[in-house]
Structure 1
């Protein structure tokens, strides 16, 4: 009897297990069918052998042509959903802004900020810091005449720097970085630095190097296998740069704190310190206004605001040297409409061709090809596919800016992309170099103003040509790959037009 009961119980257990197995297999199969497709991954390596880590965006763009606008790839053990094409990226970032709006904080991003600041944070802290930054930067003239005055003064300093070379070939990278950095410094710290200031030079150079190294293959590998960090020289160099710049920033903040007058706000740091002081006096607990958020917000904005603007302006000048007939048309329009006086922001509406050239430079340069990675904030079904909460998402901006269904000649420098038949400037929905949705670049208006004023001021005063012995056709546009895409390290001639 006992034996019979034992056998019956065992048989019943086996039946139950089989039913559960069949149910689970059926459920897993069904779930798998609804997940985005993608190439079959290898154990541990995932799809690493199927992509080029030096130009990951191009590899993913190629894969999208096979697997569609929403597909899955495994970078090692990390599952990533890639969004490709204008319509898909817009639908995700704008129409599903909440679900696709979190930041994927990779190991290196966490090393940078420990979850503080603006760029690499989530939740209530991110919301409050972004809201504060938007309001404060706007108060300090983003899109207003005070910013225009600061930028125009920096244009003068930059043109004087270029004049020193008397038309001889030189590398303009540093001077342009210093000019862009000074705009951010004026907003963050209420002052500008001389280009020859060694502390300023070191800060800018370390920021530039940090952004380059962040996109390097060793750091991509580190993000997949964080245990390798201390064994990688690139990681050690990167963290050394970050820590040194953090200390330099703390020193500047300390100096501003000593002379703080809550009744006379000079800059972003003053505004933050004043808000912090007011909250402390009100005895409000759990405030997001603490030193870690201040230091990391400042370093985030300073680095991002410098690199993107400087990078794009460098690309603009390389394109002008590469395509002299386009440069001719820009300078003809500037001479006809503005003459020799200083260009102002209000002139933009009367300079449609020049505006189109700047926009086309941004499009073709594609300096942030994969945006900054996003993360799914909650389970979502998108274009018929199930994407689980916490999944990393790459909005592939390369596929947006080079979308063949949106741009007539996506791989060619063509200002007509932004001009109608009458030569008037037209906006294009697929122009998305600043990303979109909740994580769109918060300095977008300031960046547009800087690019317009810097570019027009330089084109008014100089003609840009390749160095002696190099023809326009020989100018290679293959970018230098980092976290952003920089133009090749060419020396250009800035020949005075006056």
Structure 2
């Protein structure tokens, strides 16, 4: 019996050594990086609560392009503004794919916009961009929807009469209603229980993303499918969201096609009918349902989280808040409707919004890309199918690009005369072919929500509270800890 045990131990050690040597051989063709171990790869070096900071520290050792192994899979990390920008734009088409992990394959099934590649992604993304433009993106039509929700948010805060409140739900409700108007053609009241469940379901899925549970599912999907755990609740949430979307689609079909399409579903149903005889078409109800999921996920989470940081930053920097209010009072009338075009007359306010995005870096690392063909990044040959992760935070904190990268400083976006200045290193919306689909909508929302709130309120800590936690919680996005503030009417 002892001899059999010794034989098994020797066999396991031999297998470990063989796998270790195979990994070392594979590393020869890749950018440098920490030594990977069999099975776990480089997971032993990662602090998953502060991934972006770990990647910045590793770049100081191995250079701005390096390799990390997640289990048996090599991942190329791009770090620092120049490397991230070149990696995503110089060979933009080469790195335009999206890797398919077991979890997101189960959730998205190769449908929609965010988690697809190739023909499906190109057709769905092009249609999404065209539809947003047709619905008024960059024009007064869609801006009016944002202004309406900004007014609802101000009204909600006003009802609290300066008492302590958690601003999270009213903010996410208002931002979600912008997307609801785009997709469904109508808004939902704050009392609507189904819409509450929509918001809660997306929130749960975001918190599941990048968690240990998601990684375990990706490594052992066949096992996890038969085990209880948070992944099962995620699948329930996703199914609820799909059912919610299908119900809205069914209502649109029952009402019949309007004379002019009024929302995303109207445009998509018309496109399905238009392309029904095209064998290359990807327009069907499954893709429409997933595209709706993607629009809500991308259009709600990052903007909501940024606005939550916005309120927190104004409490933490009352001098900045006061300066923004003085500029708004000097340029705009107390009852004047604020338009996106007004940002050109409000350089300091505009600079503060950009600095909030830079300093808090809501999307810590970019959504992974995949090489759709062999390419060269920073002189390293990269094979087709290789996963690329751009560390967007490293560009927003690059000491070569920002005067005080680790400090909140609106002057990063102002010249010596106080004029607003765009910065190339501001990659909050990523870059290349996969740049954020709703970037212009997000910019519009951030400006209109922020300026309306700043004009109406001064944000302060509740009485007796001396300080507030400004550390981030890492999910798919970097979120602030729950907090309460007082929105004191001005």
TM-score of the two chains, using structure 1 as the length reference: 0.91
**Which of 212, 218, 231 is matched with 1:235 structurally?**
231
Which structure 2 segments of 5+ residues have no match?
1-20
CA distance in 2, matches of 1:105, 1:58: 25
Q: Distance in 2 between matches of 1:188 and 1:285?
A: 26
Matched residue, 2:32: 37
2:240 corresponds to 1:249: no
Cα distance change on mapping 1:228 and 1:354 into 2, 3 Å: farther
How far, CA to CA, are the matches of 1:297 and 1:279 in structure 2? 17
SS of match in other structure, 1:394: strand
Q: What secondary structure sits across from 2:275 in the alignment?
A: helix
3-state secondary structure, aligned to 1:202: helix
Cross-structure match for 2:356 = 361
Q: Which one has a bigger Cα radius of gyration?
A: 1
Once residues 223 and 356 of structure 1 are traced to their aligned partners in structure 2, the CA distance between those partners, rounded to angstroms, is 40
Partner residue of 2:265 out of 257, 263, 269: 269
1:179-231 CA-to-partner distances (Å, cap 9, x unmatched) read 00110011101111111111111101111121111122221232233334233
Q: Please give the alpha-carbon distance, in whole angstroms, between the structure 2 residues aligned to 1:486 and 1:146.
A: 31
* Stretch moving more, 474-483 or 170-179: 474-483
Residue in 1 that maps onto 2:255: 259
Q: Residues 206-225 of structure 1: matches in 2 within 5 Å?
A: 206-225=201-220
Of residues 488-497 and 57-66 in structure 1, the stretch that sits farther from structure 2 once superposed is 57-66
Conserved 8 A contact 2:49-2:473? no
Say which SS state the counterpart of residue 117 (structure 1) adopts: coil
Q: What is the aligned partner in structure 2 of residue 175 from structure 1? A: 170
71 and 449 in structure 1: CA distance in 2 versus 1, 3 angstrom threshold: same
Range with greater deviation from structure 2 (475-484 or 126-135): 475-484
RMSD of aligned C-alpha atoms?
Answer: 1.5
Describe how 1:56-455 pairs up with structure 2 within 5 A: 56-230=51-225, 231=227, 233-261=229-257, 263-280=259-276, 283-340=277-334, 341-455=336-450
Cα deviation 1:73-131 (Å, max 9, x = unaligned): 11111211100011011101111101111112222221211010000001101100000
- Match for residue 17 of structure 1? none
The residue aligned with 1:496 is 489
Q: Which runs of 5+ in 1 are unaligned?
A: 1-24
Partner of 1:16: none
Check conservation: 1:34, 1:384, Cα contact below 8 A. no
Correspondence for 1:14: none
Distance 1:260 1:87 in 2: 51
Q: Secondary structure at the match of 1:103?
A: coil
Q: Which residue of 2 aligns with 1:483?
A: 476
CA offsets, 1:285-309, max 9 Å, x none?
Answer: 3421111110000111012101111
C-alpha displacement of 1:386: 1.8
Measured in 2, the distance between the counterparts of 1:126 and 1:111 equals 17
Who is 1:22 aligned against?
A: none
Number of residue-to-residue matches in the alignment = 466
Query: How far does the alpha carbon of each residue in 1:154-182 deviate from its partner, in whole angstroms, 9 at most, with x for none?
Result: 11111111112110111110100010011
Asked if the contact 1:260–1:270 (Cα under 8 Å) also holds between the matched residues in 2, the reply is no
Give the direction of change, closer, same or farther, for the CA distance of 1:217–1:467 in structure 2 (3 Å limit): farther
The range that moved more, 94-103 or 254-263, is 254-263
Q: TM-score, normalised by structure 2?
A: 0.93
| 1:10 corresponding residue in structure 2 | none
Q: Moved runs in structure 1, 4+ residues, more than 3 A?
A: 31-34
